[in-house]
Amino acid sequence: MRLARIAPTLFLAGACLGTGAGARADVDAYRTDTEKWVETRRILSEEKADWEVEQELLRASRDLLTQQKEALQEEIQALETSGSEADDERRDLLLRRGEFQRANTALEEEIRLAERRVLAIAPQLPEPLQRKLDLLLVQIPEDPEQSDLQLGQRLVSVLGVLAQAEKFNGTATFVGETRAVEGDQKVQVRTLYWGLGQAIYVDAQGRVAGIGRPGASGWSFSRDPSLAGDAERLLDIYEGNVDLIEFVRFPVEIH
């Protein structure tokens, strides 16, 4: 199971009309950007499809085992309260209970593997998403042997984290944050996250700006004053603070 870590590439380029060699260069550049955008969408679609298949498999396994557990519990209760049950029926029931226990053990191993993956990747998620997932992440035990949570509760927590991460990855998320600029100095900035792959920020004065990207130890943000103008225009367009909507170009990375 893996999370999509591909940033949805949003090349918002200012449209300019020209003639001669300059116009052809603009067309070529636009074609290249478009091809990259299409390829990125294809990769994201494949990752999302894989993710959905894995989630559906876990859900199907959970539902099947829940049904089997309820059926067996009813049969066991009836067997315990009835002294007239035949020995062969009792033996058959015990065999079926053994099969259920083996299946339950297999499912528990799958859930534990999913829990490890979720806990490993959680620090690499954007901070706004981590705050959203706090209540779910604390329900995922680091050591299942020391946890009193039922298997079903643990499965629900894992699926909840995956669902929230998938939703975040498919949208642009705007947040207001405080970011360090020099030494202990901090400023209020507007930040726009593109899924799980990239973010851009700018302060209210349009002087401090930069890019954020995920890494092995979490997200890191680097200042880039040259982006201030474009970043401010982009955030204003996103918030609806301007009457004219235009294309804005800024750098992205595709992994």
Convert the pLDDT of each residue in 71-92 to its tens digit: 888 877 776 666 565 677 777 7
pLDDT value of residue 232: 92
pLDDT score of 21:
63
Question: What is the torsional sign of CA 112, 115, 117, 119?
Answer: negative
Region of poorest pLDDT, from 82-91, 146-155, 234-243 = 82-91
Which pLDDT score, from 0 to 100, does residue 84 have? 63
Confidence of residue 13 (pLDDT cuts 50, 70, 90): very low
pLDDT of residue 7: 40
> How far is residue 126's CA from residue 116's CA, in Å, rounded to a whole number?
19
Question: 100-103: which pairs have CB atoms within 8 A and are 24 or more residues apart?
Answer: 100/65, 100/68, 100/69, 100/72, 103/65, 103/68
- Looking at residue 250, what is its pLDDT? 77
* Res. 188: pLDDT tops 60: yes
Give the C-alpha separation, 218 to 129, whole Å. Answer: 12
Average pLDDT, the chain: 81
With 60 as the cut, is the pLDDT of residue 41 above it?
A: yes
β 218-223/209-215 pair status: antiparallel
